[in-house]
Structure 1
């Protein structure tokens, strides 16, 4: 049985804690004093109840312990899509699934959709290495961006891609990352050390705040 997805996650960048409240689809940081108290209360990167109390995050105390995100993710290279042809049927599937995820996010909210995704990603027991079939799916999502712009749609695009990859028995992770100055958030999919729908250079600009 999959452990429920907490409604709060966080990472630390340059001595600043950044939080993602999944229930409200809201990123936030703490006032300077509360941030210092929170960081001082972390134990090996884990926020127990006292750390959340010290930061004034009493509403999230029941979620403790929460571990800072960002470790263990080391993308090395982008997936090789050379040799993948242009597939109208796969492109249509990519567009359809992305629109379906957009509608579901609007109706059900971020926490529910990501909880469902986590269950899908964890429920697949047979794992196959990334191969030609999976590369064709990734290429279809890339080509779909020529039909419908992928700008500001990284989240539904990544969720839709990850679901199809999981259904094809390829282990993958969806990663939401953030950067501090200026603040920005981004989302992409990885299969091990392979980046599927982002460049290594772009992903390196962000620190993971949620890893599924």
Structure 2
């Protein structure tokens, strides 16, 4: 499939095939992610750390492929034998619509030790993204998505305490334009403490922008509700 980078393609408005129930649906393959936003298909190429759109004449074919993926039951024999899915290997991923933000609730005062751990987690994520591909970084986040629940022999740190420490660390390590490493750092720390959370990357158009956050169910943990709602999820890890 030939692709063109965003910003170099003339985008035309068309009727969306993914309105209504598909609003919070994204698609993922081994190395790519995709979503439909503002009636256009946006792709995330993980190994090359870039977003792109297709030329208008190719976009309708991409929409058809993704709609076909969304409509098929992944456990059915039809899904496994559909040629277009076998070639593209995109699987639909449902994302819960955000309805609340944890930062609007009262959070505990974090101890200095916990803030220091948050700073270390965030700094490690910054370094990792600098020297590793986005694909490798996302894979490491997914590796931490194992069994949830209490760790035998010790008491897990509560989610509100971890979140408070990470938000406090933003005053020491600027959060400006660092939503991805800070969200990766938070997601890894929460999963280490056996909390079930998702790292989500979203995109918007006109102008194009990407954003990352951590959510648990329908609650965004580390961002403002209205800000996150402006982005359509493209990848969940």
* TM-score for both structures, normalised by structure 1: 0.82
Hey, what does 2:160 align to over in structure 1?
135
- 2:62 alignment partner, one of 24, 29, 38: 38
* Shift in alpha-carbon separation, 1:83–1:106, aligned structure 2, 3 A: closer
Further displaced range: 174-183 or 43-52:
43-52
Hey, what does 1:157 align to over in structure 2?
182
Mapping of 1:17-96 within 5 angstroms?
17-42=41-66, 43-45=68-70, 50=84, 61=87, 64-68=88-92, 71-79=94-102, 81-96=105-120
Instruction: Give the SS at the match of 1:24.
Output: coil
Q: CA–CA distance in 1 between the matches of 2:180 and 2:107?
A: 27
Q: CA–CA distance in 1 between the matches of 2:175 and 2:212?
A: 12
Residue pair 1:37, 1:51 contacting (<8 A) in 2 also:
no
Instruction: Give the SS at the match of 1:36.
Output: helix
Q: Does 1:97 align with 2:121?
A: yes
Further displaced range: 199-208 or 71-80:
71-80
Q: CA–CA distance in 2 between the matches of 1:51 and 1:125?
A: 32
Q: CA–CA distance in 1 between the matches of 2:107 and 2:49?
A: 38
Runs of 4+ in 1 over 4 A off after TM superposition: 46-49
- Count of residues in correspondence between the two structures: 195
Hey, what does 2:132 align to over in structure 1?
108
Flag the structure with larger Rg: 2
Flag structure 1 segments of 5+ consecutive residues without an equivalent: 53-60
Hey, what does 2:217 align to over in structure 1?
192
Flag structure 2 segments of 5+ consecutive residues without an equivalent: 1-27, 73-81
Instruction: Give the SS at the match of 1:147.
Output: coil
Partner deviation per Cα, 1:53-108 (whole Å, 9 max, x = no partner): xxxxxxxx4xx321355x43222211265151142221111111111111112222
Partner deviation per Cα, 1:146-169 (whole Å, 9 max, x = no partner): 112101111111111111111111
* TM-score for both structures, normalised by structure 2: 0.74
